[in-house]
């Protein structure tokens, strides 16, 4: 039993109090809690801020650092990233993506319970109503755009080429079983195509599934083992250069994937589990990561 109390809402979300006392948001439609075990801030720090080596990369960075926040939700990941950067003299262009602003609106209505929105409310109100805000946060300059759209459809459009190319991506959709459209092979292939080859970019996410890792490899990413987060003993980090991976998946992982009953990417937005097809295996065997 991870959730010990809740506050209902009419908006399709409710506040849940986790066993450690932190509050998080639960989606009634997806029957999933946004940050279900250690809470929004601790999970955002462990999974995204630390794995992206955000502070270290920002300190060495010149020019605008482009950060994609896929699945803005209630903005816990975005705000945790900004707080981690606010003492560093640098400039972040934050692009948030979601097909609804309801969780953000709901979070603003429950700001006291959630806590982590404190100090950012005027900027979040502007993001909510104008889909853009720009502000100074300590030493950090923030330029924040909200892209309110179906993310897979947005990436498939030619206009996606005009989006600022990311140095880092926080990928936080609901789980593949509940939200399969956000985990298909075509989505990650489109995402990879939008990266600048000469701009190192990493993408941590909470799943460690073989299916996801194969999906990312086939899309063109290098893929490594990600940190434990409190909820998961292992997560996944992908990047367009092996230099951003501390522990790349090796040939032993590939052997396990070969035997797995759930390794074939989802080609359609319909959840299912299947072993690797011969065509997928052939592609993995010639991936630069395993040569
Ligand atoms: C786990 S929640 C994200 C939590 C959020 N990162 C935070 O820090 O509060 C997943 C988010 O993905 C969004 N999402 C799901 N499917 C989507 C789609 N097809 N296009 C865009 N956003 C989507 C949901 O609306 C939801 O806000």
pLDDT in tens, 153-171: 999 999 999 999 999 999 9
Tens of pLDDT along 103-122?
Answer: 999 999 999 999 999 999 99
In the chain, which residues have pLDDT < 50? Answer: 1-8
Query: With a 6 A CB cut-off, is 103 part of the ligand 1 pocket?
Result: yes
The DSSP H or E segment spanning 284 is: helix 278-285
**Crossing angle, helix 185-194 and helix 210-219, to 10 degrees?**
40
pLDDT of residue 129: 97
Query: With a 6 A CB cut-off, is 98 part of the ligand 1 pocket?
Result: yes
Q: State which of 24, 106, 128, 173 you would mutate to test the pocket of ligand 1, scoring each by most atoms of that ligand within 8 A of its C-beta.
A: 173
Strand partners, 285: none
- Rounded Cα distance between 289 and 291, Å, is 6
Closest residue CA from atom 11 of ligand 1: 71
- Rounded Cα distance between 221 and 212, Å, is 11
Query: With a 6 A CB cut-off, is 96 part of the ligand 1 pocket?
Result: no
Query: With a 6 A CB cut-off, is 106 part of the ligand 1 pocket?
Result: no
pLDDT of residue 5: 44
Query: With a 6 A CB cut-off, is 79 part of the ligand 1 pocket?
Result: no
The DSSP code sequence of 172-195 is --S-TTT-GGGS-HHHHHHHHHHS
Q: State which of 28, 99, 186 you would mutate to test the pocket of ligand 1, scoring each by most atoms of that ligand within 8 A of its C-beta.
A: 99
193 contacts: CB under 8 Å, gap ≥ 6: 220
Query: With a 6 A CB cut-off, is 73 part of the ligand 1 pocket?
Result: yes
pLDDT of residue 3: 39
CA of 173 to the centre of ligand 1 (A): 5
Q: Contact at 8 Å (CB) between 166 and 198?
A: no
Q: State which of 73, 83, 94, 131 you would mutate to test the pocket of ligand 1, scoring each by most atoms of that ligand within 8 A of its C-beta.
A: 73
Query: With a 6 A CB cut-off, is 76 part of the ligand 1 pocket?
Result: yes
- Rounded Cα distance between 100 and 173, Å, is 12
Domain boundaries, the chain: 38-249
Closest residue CA from atom 27 of ligand 1: 73
pLDDT of residue 38: 86
pLDDT of residue 11: 67
The predicted model scores a pTM of: 0.94
CA of 38 to the centre of ligand 1 (A): 18
Q: Contact at 8 Å (CB) between 229 and 238?
A: no
The DSSP H or E segment spanning 168 is: strand 168-171
Could you tell me the fold of the domain covering 38-249?
A: Rossmann fold (3.40.50)
pLDDT of residue 285: 96
Query: With a 6 A CB cut-off, is 100 part of the ligand 1 pocket?
Result: yes
The overall average pLDDT reported for the chain is: 94
């Amino acid at each position: 039993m991870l959730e010990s109390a809740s506050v209902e809402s009419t908006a399709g979300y409710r506040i849940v109090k986790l066993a450690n006392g932190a509050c998080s948001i639960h989606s009634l439609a997806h029957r999933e809690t946004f940050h279900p075990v250690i809470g929004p801030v601790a999970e955002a720090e462990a999974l995204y801020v630390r794995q992206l080596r955000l502070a270290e990369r920002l300190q060495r960075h010149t020019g605008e650092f482009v950060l994609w926040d896929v699945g803005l939700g209630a903005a816990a990941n975005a705000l945790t990233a900004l707080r981690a950067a606010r003492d560093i003299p640098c400039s972040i262009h934050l692009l948030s993506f979601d097909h609804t602003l309801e969780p953000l609106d709901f979070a603003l209505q429950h700001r006291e319970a959630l806590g982590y929105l404190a100090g950012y409310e005027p900027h979040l109100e502007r993001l909510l109503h104008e889909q853009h805000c720009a502000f100074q946060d300590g030493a950090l300059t923030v330029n924040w755009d909200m892209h309110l759209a179906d993310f897979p459809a947005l990436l498939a459009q030619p206009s996606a080429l005009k989006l600022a190319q990311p140095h880092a991506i926080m990928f936080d959709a609901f789980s593949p079983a509940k939200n399969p459209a956000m985990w298909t092979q075509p989505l990650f292939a489109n995402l990879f195509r939008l990266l600048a080859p000469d701009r190192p970019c990493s993408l941590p996410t909470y799943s460690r599934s073989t299916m996801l890792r194969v999906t990312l490899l086939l899309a063109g990413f290098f893929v490594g083992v990600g940190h434990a987060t409190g909820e998961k003993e292992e997560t996944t980090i992908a990047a367009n250069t092996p230099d951003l991976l501390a522990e790349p998946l090796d040939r032993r992982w590939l052997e396990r994937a070969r035997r797995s009953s759930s390794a074939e990417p989802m080609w359609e937005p319909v959840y299912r589990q299947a072993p690797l097809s011969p065509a997928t295996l052939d592609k993995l065997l010639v991936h630069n990561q395993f040569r």
